[in-house]
Amino acid sequence: KWYESKEVTSVREKNFQIWRHGDRTPAKTFKSDPYQEDAWSLGWGQLTPIGMEQMMELGDLLYKEYVVKNKFLNTSYKFNEMYVRTTDVNRTYISAYSNLIGMYYNRTQSIPNVNFPNNTRWPGLFVPFPVHATVDYAHDYVGNPRAYCPRREWLWSKTKETPEFRKLEKENDQFMKELTTVTGDNITLDRFWYLRDTLYIERLYNKTQRIIDETAYQRIDEIMDLLVDYGNGLDLTPVDNINFRVEVPKVRGGSILWAIIDNFDLKLFCYEQANQDKPQCNWMKHLRYYAYSAHDTTLLALMSTLGVKHTLLQHGHPDYSACLSFELWQTDNGPALRVSYEFI
């Protein structure tokens, strides 16, 4: 499905894609959970075969949109035309490779001894393409909204002083104590995310030994929805003159937004004939497609920064393999962007 901003017609110059990885195993669980890591054959936090297939489907959708329909990208890989970056996490790496397989694997334009070796052990018409991780996850200020930042941590401490957060805390104090008893973990609103995450995935995989019933799970889900919004600065009353709607997105989604803006600014600079021989344009003048393999938190932070989170998601998280696409166009009235939201 596609949600698009206003249609723009003219010459497309560059695309910037950012997607969430595909289906994965839980990242961790609580002490009393009957499904510990050995219940998941791939281990904690790994992309599953379902997730690989989801990313292949997204890749196929992107191929049909940008190669077949619009003839914007080449019918086979051109290494100076595309750049794919990922956070330094297994599931986002493998999601990126799965996406590229969906785009270009087994296309008839792949030729033995031209695009790949003519060897019986080589997998089909597979052409490998580089995927880059430029920094470790803890310091990835583009792909990881929770990367270390003193101001972000300070803003979170101020968030907990808002009437909305205090109301949520007060209304669920007894529930947190009950969850602590049931799970064997110290459950607080600060340490809540993994509980909902794990229970959600266990339900997807029909894990039937459930020590938390459906009523409690629905309440956990509702609390997590509010925490996601509060964590991104949404729906909060100002405290000490802090406009959370402005300040929190700066430190969570601001970096990815500026990465997109900087990419497009440089592309426009290199579009000018007089600049094309400048060093910074040697790479950029050919680049047409930049993709970032990331996380639901990355997309949520970016949506909140753009002010569209509640428009695109009434509650919850972006689906596995959901993708935001930013397209730079040259029009008669100057540069323009088309923004699309895709999910499988």
Catalytic site positions: 21, 296
The 10 Å CB-count burial string (b at 16+, else e) for 243-266 is ebeebbbbbbbbbbbebbeebbeb
Give the residue carrying structure tokens 């077949």: 68
The 10 Å CB-count burial string (b at 16+, else e) for 191-202 is ebeebbbbbbbb
- Structure token pair of residue 269: 């600079």
CA distance 47 to 29: 17
The closest of 242, 239, 240, 234 to 301, measured between CA atoms, is 234
3-state secondary structure of 69: helix
- Interacting residues of 127 by C-beta distance below 8 A, sequence separation 6+: 76, 77, 104, 105, 110, 115, 116
- Structure token pair of residue 72: 């914007």
The closest of 307, 319, 304, 302 to 17, measured between CA atoms, is 302
Pair 12, 327: CB distance under 8 Å? yes
3-state secondary structure of 339: strand
